[in-house]
Chain A
C-alpha cells in the first residue's frame, strides 16, 4: 500500500474556538493508482495532501507512506503545489535540474543532463531549455513544474489543482499529457481538483469530499477504459453515468447542509 490514512481528524484552534477541517478520514491508496480528491473549495483536500507530504501533522489519527508513519517532511515523493514554486532566475533546464542537484550530489553530470533532457521532452518543452521562467506562458510553466517533479523519478506524485488557473483548452491538452505520462511511468498519483470532468478523465478512483468539516462522502471507481482521450471520453456513456453519480454525491452533501 502506498498510502494509508487511518481515522484522521484535523482541527485548527485559536483561543476562542476550534475549527474542524477534516473528520474521520480513512483511505488506502495502492501502488500505481491514480487517485483524485474531489470536493468543494475549503473541504480539506489540500490538508490531506499536506499531511501525506508531511508538511502538516494530523490532530488525530495517522498517515502512513509505504508502511512508515509520516513524521516529518516526506521526501520520498514529488509534490506539485497549486501555485508555482519555480525559481524565476533560473532557466527551464536549470529549474528541472534542481532536484537532481539536491538529491544526487555525486551524480555524473552527463547522467543528469541526459535525464533532464528526457523529462523536458516528456512534457513537450524541447526547444525551451534555455528560456527563463518569466518568458514562458502559464501553461508552459506548469509543464516545467511537472518536469521538475518527475525528474528524480519519485514513486508517488502529489498534485494540488495543478491546472486550476489555466484556460479550458490548455487544461484539456495537459490532462491528456498527464494521463499519458502516468500510464508510461506507472507512478502513484494523488491529484486534487474541484473539476468533476477532470477527475473523470484522470482517475482510477475518485474520492469525493464533503463540505467542511471534510469527510469522505463517497468513493467512485472510474471503470472507463484507458487510454482515455480527454475530448472523446465525454461521449462515452459510462462517462455520463459516473458524472451523474459524482454530482449526486456532491449535491446530496450540499442539501444536507442546507437543512
Chain B
C-alpha cells in the first residue's frame, strides 16, 4: 500500500514547505493486524461455501449435480498426472494470450489514432460502434467452417472481443487529454508524434488497462465458447466432452481451471499496469 506524502504551504506566506510523514510502528502493526483479519474472514467464507456444497447442496439436491469436492479435486489430480491438463490448458492459454495481445495492441493503437485525428474518428467511429454492437458470437459457426477446428477461429473471435473493449476504453482516455494540454505542448515545440507519445498515450494508459481488465474474462469466455462449438483441444473441448457423457465432475474441474486462469489473467494485467506506470516520463527521462 502506498502512503501519500502530504504537501502543505506555510500558513500566510504560501511558500511551499516539504513535509515527510513516516509510517509509525504502531500504525504498521495495526495494518498487519487488519490484513490478518481480512485473510481469516476470506478463509472462513471459503470454508462455509465448501461446507454448503458438500453438506447441503450435495445431499439435498443430489450428488449428480453437486458431486463431492474430493472427486472434483482427484479429477484435477488425474488430469495433471496423465498430461490431459497440460495439453488442453496450454491450448487455451495460448489462444487467450494471443487474443489479448493482438486485440489489445490493435485496440490501443487504433484507439489512440482515432482519439488524436479528428478526421479518422469522424469516419471510422460510427462503423466501429455498429461492428461492436453486432453479436459476433453468432458468427461462430461461420468462422469455424471457414477456419477449421484449430486455434485460428478462437483467436479471431477472442481478439475481436478484446479489440473492441480496449479500443473504446482507449478512445475515452484520449478524450481525457484536454485540448489545452495539447495546445500547450505544440507551443513548446512538440511534433504530432511527441504529443501522441507524451500526452495521449500516458493519458489513455489507465483507461486502456481498465479496458484490458474487462476484456480479459470476456475474451476467455469467447474462446471457451468457440472451443465448445468446435474443437478437439482446449478447456472448452474438455467441458463439451464431459457434458456429452454428463460427467459433472469433469465439468466442475474444468470450471475450476477456468476460474484459476481468470485470476492469473487479472494478475498479469495488474503486472502490466504496475510496470507501465512510469511511461510518459513520470520518473525517467
Residues on A lying within 8 angstroms of B by beta carbon are 53, 55, 73-75, 77-79, 81, 83, 85, 87, 89-91, 94, 97-99, 101-103, 109, 124-125, 127-128, 131-132, 135-137, 139-140, 143, 152, 169-170, 173-174
8 Å CB contacts to A: which residues of B41-91? none
Residue of B nearest to A84 (CB): B180
B187 touches A73 (CB 8 A): yes
Q: Point out the residue from A94, A135, A173 that lies within 8 Å of B4, measured CB to CB.
A: A135
Q: Point out the residue from A74, A87, A99, A140 that lies within 8 Å of B16, measured CB to CB.
A: A140
Q: Which residues of A contact B12 (CB under 8 A)?
A: 169
Which of B105-113, B155-163, B257-265, B275-283 lies on the face that meets chain A? B275-283
Q: Which residues of B contact A90 (CB under 8 A)?
A: 280-282
B14 touches A169 (CB 8 A): yes
**17 more A-B residue pairs beyond the given contacts A101-B198, A102-B194, with a C-beta to C-beta distance below 8 A:** A75-B187, A75-B188, A79-B187, A81-B184, A83-B180, A85-B181, A90-B280, A91-B282, A94-B283, A102-B185, A102-B188, A103-B188, A103-B189, A128-B18, A137-B7, A137-B16, A143-B16
Q: Point out the residue from A74, A98, A137 that lies within 8 Å of B198, measured CB to CB.
A: A98
CB proximity of A35 to chain B, nearest CB, Å: 19
CB proximity of A125 to chain B, nearest CB, Å: 6
Residues on B lying within 8 angstroms of A by beta carbon are 4-9, 12-18, 178, 180-181, 183-190, 194, 198-199, 202-203, 205, 280-283, 285
B184 touches A79 (CB 8 A): yes
Tell me whether chain B's interface is mostly helix, strand or loop, or mixed. Answer: mixed
Docked CA distance A169–B9 (Å)? 12
Q: Which residues of A contact B184 (CB under 8 A)?
A: 79, 81, 85
Q: Which residues of A contact B17 (CB under 8 A)?
A: 127
Q: Which residues of A contact B199 (CB under 8 A)?
A: 87
Docked CA distance A89–B183 (Å)? 18
Q: Which residues of B contact A169 (CB under 8 A)?
A: 12-14
Docked CA distance A196–B198 (Å)? 38
A102 touches B190 (CB 8 A): yes
Docked CA distance A85–B195 (Å)? 13
With A87-B181, A99-B188, A102-B185 known as contacts, the answer to whether A135 contacts B281 (CB < 8 A) is no
Docked CA distance A91–B13 (Å)? 24
Q: Point out the residue from B9, B13, B15, B183 that lies within 8 Å of A85, measured CB to CB.
A: B183
A128 touches B16 (CB 8 A): yes
A-B contact pairs, 20 of them (CB 8 A): A77-B187, A81-B180, A81-B183, A81-B184, A85-B185, A87-B181, A87-B202, A89-B205, A94-B282, A94-B283, A102-B188, A102-B194, A103-B189, A124-B15, A125-B16, A127-B17, A131-B5, A140-B9, A169-B12, A174-B14
Docked CA distance A127–B17 (Å)? 8
Docked CA distance A109–B284 (Å)? 11
Q: Which residues of B contact A98 (CB under 8 A)?
A: 185, 188, 198, 281
Residue of B nearest to A90 (CB): B282
Residue of B nearest to A83 (CB): B180
CB proximity of B31 to chain A, nearest CB, Å: 21
B14 touches A127 (CB 8 A): no
Q: Which residues of A contact B180 (CB under 8 A)?
A: 81, 83, 85
CB proximity of A80 to chain B, nearest CB, Å: 9
B18 touches A127 (CB 8 A): yes
Q: Point out the residue from A53, A131, A136 that lies within 8 Å of B187, measured CB to CB.
A: A53
